[in-house]
Structure 1
């Protein structure tokens, strides 16, 4: 089924490209969004999560190397630690709260960044029929240099009406 998810496009929002009132640690935060087309046949959520994990776009360490089709890492974790069971279903309010608190942890985001986040992140969260949040897997699941992210938030958004599954990662390093 891996070939049945087709990568459509990606968006990368780098906080470094926005003017903040202070210099704080804003420059090392970003959001990476990968959108994939759902398979034509109806598949239950856990099977979709397994298909996403098997997809080459999932093999990204989010530390500058980009997608590595033969990679063994996903974010701070070994790819082998990833399974549908490590994702928990969360409501819109929970996912929205987690990401807004993360984005505004050092004060309100500049207007241009807030607008870009609203369009690329929060509107997608609101449209998703199902949202899954990657649980903390613990240091035992970290790959050899997996502790580089200060915070790592990952969501999988399933929007069957749009025919998309979205992998959304918000992190700072």
Structure 2
């Protein structure tokens, strides 16, 4: 049970709009009961919504690319578990790479990202694959880097893909 195992609910973009070119994309999927962590990650990798270059405000099937990486270089093994506190710390450091977020942006990050990290049953961090699977001509992650998390919240029946980067 992998192909078609996830149903995309919605996507949101948190644009920092502070001159940093930073943004956070959050894509939400229904997480079927009984789908294990590895199967959920495999289903995400197979989903068309994962094939996003993030080089445009429009979400579209990038066929062979995910952000700054070639899809062929990403596998379930590319993800490692991460503790909630570590994920939050990494994103807070990333968010302040250029300038600390203002109150309104901080509240939005808390509501849409940090709260999801806190309640998730399992959290996974995608490894930095810029050396092993770089996508040609990708502007994504050129300065502040890329932080990609997959959050599994079985109570809410939700898988959240969080991609934080700049362009």
- Alpha-carbon distance in structure 1 between the residues aligned to 2:160 and 2:65: 19
- Normalising by the residue count of structure 2, what TM-score does the alignment of the two structures yield? 0.91
CA distance in 2, matches of 1:11, 1:65: 10
CA distance in 2, matches of 1:63, 1:70: 10
Greater helix fraction, Structure 1 or Structure 2 = 1
Match for residue 168 of structure 1? 162
Q: Which 4+ residue blocks in structure 1 deviate beyond 3 angstroms? A: 65-70
Consecutive unaligned residues in structure 1, runs of 5 or more: none
Alignment of 1:1-173 (within 5 A): 1-16=2-17, 25-26=19-20, 28-40=21-33, 42-64=34-56, 66-69=58-61, 71-146=63-138, 148-150=140-142, 151-173=145-167
TM-score, normalised by the number of residues in structure 1? 0.88
| TM-fit CA distance, 1:65 | 6.5
Displacement of 1:152: 0.9
The root-mean-square deviation of aligned C-alpha atoms, in Å, is 1.6
Q: CA offset at residue 87 of structure 1?
A: 0.4
Gaps of 5+ in 2: none
Task: Give the whole-Å Cα distance in 1 for the aligned partners of 2:83 and 2:110.
Answer: 17
Question: What's the CA shift for 1:121?
Answer: 0.7
- 2: CA distance, partners of 1:60 / 1:70: 5
